[in-house]
Every structure is written in structure tokens, then in C-alpha cells.
């Protein structure tokens, strides 16, 4: 079931919250197992077969972590073997058909398998946990079935993140969820309403603008520069409001049960550099890539050339993690290149500038260049063919190919795109709203915030469509 569905809003979430709060009054241990069971029901609703795959992964990784923690040496071979088994499972379901397709389309079709929902997220969560076990960041007494199974399967983050770290939730499992319960529930209702509105009223309507443009390009039909710009900007905003809307509802769902999980976004379209963009976009993935890829590769400890190579490799692998396709490889490579250039500029060029003149190169020009790079990357991220992505790119940025003949969009479509841009770049984001309310300001603003949330929820609730999955479900 999707967060933006009637069965989730009217049945699953209320039943889960009510059941948990009632059971925890009797026995905390039973309440946490109840949440694990509810998370299994949530996941199995999509496809019961996927529950068997995810369950096998969780059980296997639990015993692998237990074996690591049981040994004082925490042998490298055991850790490498466990990580390799996770990556092989991920590779089989996610990348086998793609790799076979490089050899033969018929061979790929014969060996195609359906992708278990959220496999990238629960696999990476468990790899990070294994790495922390080997590094001694988890004590043997902390590794108990109840906490581990709930940590991995907790339904708000299970399908598409945020990617949890054990430190985010383990303390809360021991009763921390009871703190500020009323404030958390009220904040959760407000955030859920905001997220639902983002998804249903903004992202879903933007998809109707972006999809035809990319379909034409992928089908080999030429589009004008005006159409390309409309389609690319519409998709950039669609992806942001879709995924940030999902993340808002994930954080809100956890708050309604009493748990706090990390935010994934902090107004990324306000960034003035690509480095800053990745500190604001999909922040839990950025944290994972930094801690479990970039730093193990050597980080910045082995010289500048190696540092730049590590940055590029990390982003390239991050692109491949998103999907099996040449376009994702290009997208990851582009962002790796962008970040390397940004670091070189920041470390070597900016210090040589006169201090009085730096702002003119780091303010508005930096913002425009950052958004151009982000938009270029999203074209490859969204397009289903390399040829379609390159055709759109030439229409966007190659002056000799630019043509603005014809009307690229209706007035209402352009108004929606403009409104989405203004919301994303000027209004307080969900993280700021969350922090403001939980800092003790809910009491003085609850009437205004409650009424606004009620309006957003009511408008979005009646517009829910069963044929509108979240974009990041495919990863």
C-alpha cells in the first residue's frame, strides 16, 4: 500500500498507531514486536513473494552480524562474505537482466525477474549495520532480534528510505518514543498533510507535463527547446515534490507512533554549489555514500588525485545504485565530475580571488550554474534512452540547436511549474516546520497550523489516485 492511498490513511496507519500505543502500556517488548508484524503486513500488501525475499535477507544478515559480534577478532573474511552475499542478491534481482542485455536482448528477456520493492534500501541499511558491527560501533548486547528486525523492517522507511542508521532508532526502542508524545502526534498530522499535498496536488500534476516531453524524446521525435525546458523543469520539480512528499509522510508516520527518523531534504534547490546540493538532497543516501563508500575508499587521506578519484567513484556507484541502465551510469558520472570540479574550484581558484570580488562568483552565478548542472543530470536520470537524453540536452544547452517555435505549454501548466519553483525556493521546508513545532512552538501556532494542514489534507485526500506510485519505489 502507498502512503498516498485510502487503505493506508483510513485503515493501516490508524490501526497500527492505536494498536502500538495500547500494547506499549502493557508491555514494551510486545509493542515492538507488534510494530515488526505490522511492518511485515505493510510490505506483504505489495507482493507476498517479496516478503519472503526481504525476510530471508533480514534473518541471514542478523545471524551474520551475530557471528561478527561473537568473535573478538571480527574476521574480515566473514564481513566480506556477508557483504558479498548482499550485493550478489541485489545484483541478481536488479542488474542481471541489464548485464545480460549487453550481450543479447533475448537472453535478458529469458532471465528477467521482478524487482522486490525497496531491495536497494533494506540491503544498504544492512550492509551499513554489518560495517558498524565489524568496526565495533555496535555492542553484542545491543544486537537482539527484536531491535534488529524492527530497525530494518520499520514500515515508514522500508520502501524508499530515509536510509536509517542504527543510532537513529535504537535508543528510542527502549522507551524514548514516549517523550513529547502529544507534540509528536500533532506534528506528525501536520507533516503528513504537507507531504500528501506535495505528492497528490503538485508532483502528480507536474508528471502530466513532463511525461509527454520525455516520451517524445525517447521515441525519437524532435522537440523544441521550449518543450525541452518545460519538460526538464517540470520533471525536476516533480521528482523533488514526489520524493520529499514521500519522505515527509515517512517522518510523519514515524512521529505518529512516537519515533523520530531523519529527514531526507533541506531545500536542495536553494543550493549555490553542487557540493551544497548533495548536502541537501537525499541526505541519508549522501551520509551512507560518505561513511560507507567514500571514507573506506580512502576519503581525502591519500592525496588530492586519489581524493578526486574517490569522489568520482562514489558518485558513479551512487548512480548505478539507483538503477540498471546506461543513463544512471551517465548521471552518476556527471555528478562525480561536477563535484570534483566544484572541489577544485573551491580549494584552488576561490582562495586566489580578491576577497571583495568572491561574492559575485559564488552567489547568483553559482546558483545558476548549480541548477543547470542539476537539470542536465535529471534529464539523464529521467529519460529511458540515451538518445532521448542527448536530444533533450542539445535542445536545452546547445545554442545552434535551440528553437522556441510553438507554444511549449499552456498557461495553467506554466503557472503550476512557476508555483512549484517558488514553493521549493522560498517557503519554509518541512524540516524547518518540524523543528519549529517540536521546539515548543506548537501550542502558540496549533490553530493556524491545524487549519492549514486540514485544508491541505482535504484537498489532497479527494484527489488521491490509485495509479500514482512514488517515483523512488522503482529504485
How many CB atoms neighbour CB 108 within 10 A?
16
Contacts of 7 (CB under 8 A, 6+ apart): 1, 45
C-beta separation of 431 from 203 below 8 A: no
Query: CA-to-CA distance for 97 and 113, rounded, in angstroms?
Result: 8
| Cα–Cα nearest to 167, from 151, 183, 186, 187 | 151
Cell representation of residue 406: 510553438
Query: CA-to-CA distance for 362 and 346, rounded, in angstroms?
Result: 10
DSSP string, 68-128: HHH-SS--HHHHHHHHHHHHHHHHHHHTHHHHHHTT-HHHHHHT--PPPTTHHHHHHHHHH
Active site residue 322: yes
DSSP 349: I
**How would you classify residue 175: left for phi > 0, otherwise alpha for psi between -120 and 50, otherwise beta?**
left
Contacts of 345 (CB under 8 A, 6+ apart): none
Catalytic residue (one of 157, 166, 282, 322): 322
Query: CA-to-CA distance for 81 and 79, rounded, in angstroms?
Result: 5
Query: CA-to-CA distance for 367 and 351, rounded, in angstroms?
Result: 19
How many CB atoms neighbour CB 118 within 10 A?
21
| Cα–Cα nearest to 171, from 289, 69, 258, 74 | 258
Cis peptide before 162 (omega within 30 of 0): yes
C-beta separation of 146 from 78 below 8 A: no
Sign, CA dihedral 48-157-320-288, equals negative
DSSP 264: S
Residue linked to cell 508524545:
181
Residue linked to cell 537513529:
168
Query: CA-to-CA distance for 218 and 44, rounded, in angstroms?
Result: 34
Cell representation of residue 63: 545471524
| Cα–Cα nearest to 275, from 382, 142, 399, 369 | 369
Cell representation of residue 290: 560518505
Residues that are catalytic? 322
Amino acid at each position: 500500500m502507498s502512503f498516498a492511498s485510502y487503505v493506508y490513511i483510513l485503515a493501516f496507519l490508524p490501526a497500527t498507531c492505536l494498536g502500538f500505543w495500547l500494547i506499549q502500556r502493557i508491555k514494551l517488548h510486545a509493542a515492538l514486536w507488534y510494530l515488526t508484524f505490522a511492518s511485515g503486513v505493510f510490505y506483504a500488501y505489495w507482493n507476498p513473494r517479496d516478503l519472503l525475499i526481504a525476510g530471508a535477507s533480514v534473518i541471514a544478515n542478523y545471524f551474520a552480524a551475530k557471528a561478527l559480534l561473537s568473535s573478538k577478532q571480527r574476521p574480515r573474511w566473514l564481513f566480506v562474505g556477508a557483504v558479498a552475499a548482499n550485493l550478489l542478491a541485489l545484483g541478481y534481482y536488479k542488474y542481471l537482466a541489464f548485464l545480460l542485455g549487453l550481450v543479447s536482448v533475448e537472453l535478458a528477456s529469458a532471465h528477467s525477474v521482478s524487482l522486490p520493492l525497496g531491495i536497494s534500501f533494506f540491503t544498504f541499511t544492512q550492509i551499513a549495520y554489518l560495517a558498524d558491527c565489524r568496526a565495533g560501533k555496535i555492542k553484542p548486547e545491543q544486537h537482539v532480534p527484536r531491535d534488529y528486525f524492527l530497525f530494518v523492517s520499520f514500515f515508514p522507511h522500508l520502501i524508499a528510505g530515509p536510509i536509517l542508521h542504527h543510532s537513529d532508532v535504537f535508543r528510542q526502542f527502549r522507551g524514548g518514543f514516549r517523550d513529547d508524545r502529544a507534540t509528536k502526534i500533532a506534528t506528525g498530522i501536520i507533516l503528513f498533510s504537507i507531504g500528501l499535498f506535495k505528492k497528490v496536488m503538485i508532483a502528480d500534476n507536474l508528471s502530466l507535463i513532463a511525461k509527454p516531453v520525455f516520451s517524445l524524446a525517447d521515441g525519437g521525435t524532435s522537440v523544441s527547446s521550449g518543450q525541452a525546458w518545460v519538460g526538464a523543469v517540470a520533471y525536476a520539480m516533480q521528482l523533488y515534490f514526489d520524493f520529499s512528499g514521500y519522505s515527509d509522510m515517512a517522518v510523519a508516520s514515524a512521529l505518529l507512533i512516537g519515533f523520530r527518523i531523519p529527514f531526507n531534504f533541506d531545500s536542495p534547490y536553494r543550493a549555490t554549489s553542487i557540493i551544497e546540493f548533495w548536502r541537501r538532497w537525499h541526505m541519508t543516501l549522501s551520509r551512507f555514500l560518505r561513511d560507507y563508500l567514500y571514507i573506506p575508499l580512502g576519503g581525502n587521506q591519500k592525496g588530492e588525485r586519489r581524493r578526486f578519484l574517490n569522489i568520482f567513484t562514489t558518485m558513479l556507484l551512487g548512480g548505478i545504485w539507483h538503477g540498471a541502465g546506461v543513463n544512471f551510469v551517465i548521471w552518476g558520472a556527471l555528478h562525480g565530475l561536477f563535484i570534483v570540479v566544484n572541489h577544485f574550484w573551491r580549494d584552488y581558484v576561490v582562495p586566489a580571488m580578491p576577497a571583495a570580488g568572491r561574492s559575485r562568483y559564488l552567489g547568483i552565478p553559482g546558483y545558476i550554474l548549480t541548477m543547470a548542472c542539476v537539470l542536465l543530470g535529471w534529464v539523464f536520470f529521467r529519460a529511458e534512452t540515451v538518445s532521448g537524453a542527448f536530444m533533450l540536452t542539445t535542445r536545452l544547452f546547445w545554442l545552434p540547436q535551440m528553437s522556441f517555435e510553438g507554444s511549449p505549454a499552456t498557461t495553467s501548466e506554466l503557472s503550476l511549474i512557476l508555483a512549484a519553483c517558488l514553493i521549493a525556493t522560498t517557503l519554509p521546508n518541512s524540516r524547518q516546520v518540524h523543528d519549529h513545532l517540536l521546539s515548543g512552538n506548537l501550542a502558540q501556532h496549533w490553530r493556524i497550523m491545524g487549519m492549514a494542514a486540514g485544508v491541505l489534507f482535504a484537498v489532497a485526500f479527494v484527489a488521491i489516485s490509485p495509479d500514482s506510485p512514488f517515483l523512488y519505489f522503482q529504485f
